[in-house]
Amino acid sequence: MITVNLRPDLKRKRARSPIQGVLEGVRGLSTKVKDPMLMVGVLSWVGVLGWLAFVAVGTTRDLQALEPQLEQTRAEHKRFKVFLAEKRHQEMIRDSLVSQIGVIRSVDGDRYVWPHLLDEVTKALPAYTWLVDLSVAGNSVAPAAPADTTGDSTAVAPAVQFDVTGRTMDIQSYTRFLRQLEASPWIVDVTPVSAQTVVEKERPVTAFIIRATYRDADSAYIRTVPLSQSVR
């Protein structure tokens, strides 16, 4: 192919790359700007704006990544809120029941003192020995039970000091009666008050008085039975 240069006074321009065009544009701009500080300020603002745009994009990306975790945390918060409300409700019911049980036990605390006492004295009574009187000790006051510092609302039956007056045909039965009373988990502080020989129905017998104190036994000695049983 033959080309003819119609303008021989001009040299043929070579093809330029895009990078060379940008560099030449920057050089031309630098020649047009008379104040270099203005150029520095403009470049600084461009850098700041670029950095802010980068931070905004990164923050948006992090927020989008944390959105599922936020929803999961909200769901967990709602679930635990319902659980805590139910727990507080159950605790209120428990406290109410404990208070009612405490009132009932405070009323019934000494209801079964004498049935237990009569039962234990009857079990300890040996042969050829009989009782004349069983009553609360005259002016004696039983020592108070120690204060409960554990916060348990269980009412404790008061200690009762009592006197046992009886007769026996054999002095050994009297000592056996003392030992069997001391062996009872419901009776403590067994003390012989007096023992003397008297004549009843033309027979010599030993008249005795024993003083002791009733207290609640350990739970290991307490046996419970249902209030009602089916009869076949």
* pLDDT digits 0-9 by tens, 98-109: 988 888 777 766
- 220 or 171, greater pLDDT: 171
Amino acid at 33: V
- 228 or 193, greater pLDDT: 193
**Whole-angstrom Cα distance, residue 162 to residue 151?**
30
| Average of per-residue pLDDT across 69-74 | 86
Spatial CB neighbours of 193, under 8 Å, sequence gap ≥ 6: 163, 208, 209, 210, 211
| Average of per-residue pLDDT across 73-79 | 88
Q: Is the pLDDT of residue 214 over 80?
A: yes
* pLDDT digits 0-9 by tens, 188-203: 999 999 999 998 888 8
- 219 or 184, greater pLDDT: 184
In 3D, which of 215, 166, 160 has the Cα closest to residue 192?
A: 166
* pLDDT digits 0-9 by tens, 8-62: 655 555 555 666 665 666 566 556 555 667 767 777 888 888 888 888 888 888 8
Q: Round the average pLDDT of the chain to a whole number and report it.
A: 78
Q: Is the pLDDT of residue 96 over 60?
A: yes
Angle of helix 113-124 relative to helix 171-183, nearest 10 degrees?
140
Phi, psi of 90, deg, nearest 5 = -65, -35
**How far does Cα 117 stand from its chain's mean position?**
38
Q: Using CB atoms within 10 A of its CB, is residue 180 exposed (0-12), middle (13-18) or buried (19+)? A: middle
